[in-house]
Amino acid sequence: MVAAPAAGATEPPTAVLTASDHQFYRLAELVVSVARAPPARVDPMLDRRLEHDMTLDEVSTTAVTPQRLPVAESEEMMSLRQEVDRLQALAKDQPGVRDRSWTSG
């Protein structure tokens, strides 16, 4: 809003900021400061997944962490357990192995 000049005044009109205008001004300052120095990326993988999302629904769907299996049931954990079992069986068959305290059997 611009204040109307008083009758006969030669000064240029001055801007009168309301509380709402002041909030928008502070928001604009924040936007400009972020544009000049963007924050450091915390999760680059999430940033890549969000690159092509255009709507709020797409962003919220992408940003929500997917349901994960418990660690004990994950494919990778099962594969690692099988590998450990295989290596333990191989170590038991080796004649020069002295300390077998780390094996489960």
Q: For 49-104, how does the pLDDT look when each residue is reduced to its tens digit (9 = 90+)?
A: 788 888 888 888 877 766 665 666 677 788 888 999 999 998 888 877 665 555 55
Given pLDDT bands bounded at 50, 70 and 90, which one contains residue 4?
low
Predicted pLDDT of residue 82: 92
**Residue ranges per domain, the chain?**
19-61
Q: What is the pLDDT of residues 9-39, one digit of tens each?
A: 555 556 677 888 888 888 888 888 877 776 6
Between CA 30 and CA 26 the distance in angstroms is: 6
Say if residues 31 and 18 touch (Cβ distance below 8 Å): no
- Does the pTM surpass 0.75? The reply is no
Say if residues 71 and 81 touch (Cβ distance below 8 Å): no
Structure tokens at 46: 């999430």
Amino acid identity at 66 = P
